[in-house]
Amino acid sequence: MASFKASMLAALPLYHLILVLLFTSSHHISKPVFADDRLIELQCHNAQVPAVCIQCLKSDPRGEVVSDNVGIATIVLKCLSNNAETLAKNLSSLASGVRDKNIKSLLQDCEQGFVQAKHDLSTATNQLKRKDYDKTNHFVRTALEQEVTCSKNVASLKLKVPNNVLFEMRVYEDLSDAAMRIIDRF
């Protein structure tokens, strides 16, 4: 049978051969479906700061190929996880330059909180893939609590924290809010 197909294909003119190959290959390869700006805006619309959500989605190369809400939520969780990693590194760097034991300890606690948050966000992503949206939101909320605790501790000691770290913390809160609101709509 295979030799019959091969002889048939060899007997076809080149343009027919190309058409046959294109037709048969199109049934095996799924074409990416592109997300439109409207879907992204719709999902980010309910966030307190939709611009942060939209910027996250447009900055990820996968943002152009997602076609559903779960794909969008997955990208927002990835942005959030990257943000947690950046904050952990920044706080570690800050802690290494501090002499006061109490402040150093507080910054190290914040660093560890963001390390834990990254783990919680990984678990949230796994729960999202399993379509367990309540657990997904639970782990996003748990990861957010790490930032809220750190932010309160930094504010209570009136620490001078660089503006870029404070900005990243605000972005973290905004992305957490966006993720939970998107997931709540499933």
Instruction: Give how many domains the chain has, as a whole number.
Output: 1
Q: What DSSP line would sit under 150-165, residue for residue? A: HHHHHHHTT----HHH
Rg of the chain taking only CA atoms, in angstroms: 24
pLDDT at residue 64, as a whole number:
59
Stretch (H or E) spanning 13: none
pLDDT at residue 131, as a whole number:
96
Tell me whether residue 92 is in a domain. Answer: yes
Is the dihedral angle over the CA atoms 42, 45, 46, 51 positive or is it negative?
positive
Stretch (H or E) spanning 66: none
Cα end-to-end distance, the chain, whole Å: 49
pLDDT at residue 67, as a whole number:
67
The CATH number covering residue 49 comes to: 1.20.140.40
User: What residues of the chain score a pLDDT lower than 70?
Assistant: 1-36, 62-67
Angle (deg, nearest 10), helices 163-184 and 69-96: 160
Stretch (H or E) spanning 99: none
State which residues form the domain around 157.
Answer: 37-184
pLDDT in tens, 29-61: 333 334 557 778 888 887 888 999 999 988 877
Tell me whether residue 6 is in a domain. Answer: no
Tell me whether residue 95 is in a domain. Answer: yes
Q: How far apart are CA 178 and CA 72, in angstroms?
A: 11
Mapping DSSP to helix (H, G, I), strand (E, B) and coil, where does residue 67 land? coil
Tell me whether residue 20 is in a domain. Answer: no
pLDDT at residue 2, as a whole number:
44
Collect all residues with Cβ–Cβ distance below 8 Å to 60 and sequence separation of at least 6: 75, 78, 79
Type of residue at 70 = V
Tokens of 142: 């748990």
pLDDT at residue 145, as a whole number:
97
Tell me whether residue 32 is in a domain. Answer: no
pLDDT at residue 68, as a whole number:
82
Q: How far apart are CA 142 and CA 149, in angstroms?
A: 11
Per the document, the length of the chain is: 186
Tell me whether residue 12 is in a domain. Answer: no
Tell me whether residue 107 is in a domain. Answer: yes
Tell me whether residue 125 is in a domain. Answer: yes
